[in-house]
Structure 1
Amino acid sequence: MLIRVVYDEFQSAKVHDYQLDTLIMQGKILGFFRSDGYVRLGHDRVRGAGGPYQGYDRRRVLKAA
């Protein structure tokens, strides 16, 4: 899937979804567009940017003993 991003030069482009995390970590983009609108990095919440979670994780796959 292609995602529209805004680079630090205020130019927009479309990149593959698997490239998004790398672009964010490298600081090469200012934000990106998702279904609910524009996300400004450093201002809006993004996946994986939360703090440590100590509660039950319903997505965790438990291996049988």
Structure 2
Amino acid sequence: MLVPVVLKNWLECSVRKDELQYLIVTEKVMFFERSDGWAVLGRDKMRHLVMPFEGEERRQHQVFAKDN
């Protein structure tokens, strides 16, 4: 799925989600379109980069439990 963006040089284009992440991290994008409207970097809340979890797994996955 392509996401409409406006870059800092005012170029309008559509990019893949992984490209959008790169543009956000490198601060090359000013706006991008979300399902609820346009997001403005520096004004609207953004997701933080998710780092892999390094701790012990404590979640219990009942969905995958087998009934014996």
**Which residue number in structure 2 is paired with residue 17 of structure 1?**
17
SS in 2 for 1:10: coil
Report whether the alignment pairs 1:45 with 2:41: no
Q: CA deviation at 1:47?
A: 1.4
Q: CA deviation at 1:62?
A: 3.4
Deviations 1:4-63 (A, max 9, x none): 0100011210001111111001111101001100000000011127xxxxxxxxxxx636
Q: Normalising by structure 2, report the TM-score.
A: 0.68
Aligned pair count?
53
Cα distance in 1 between the residues matched to 2:20 and 2:26: 10
Runs (4+) of structure 1 moved beyond 6 Å?
A: none
SS in 2 for 1:19: helix
- Give the greater-gyration-radius structure (CA): 2
SS in 2 for 1:62: coil
Pairwise CA RMSD of aligned residues?
2.0
What residue ranges of structure 1 are gaps of 5+ in the alignment? Answer: 50-60
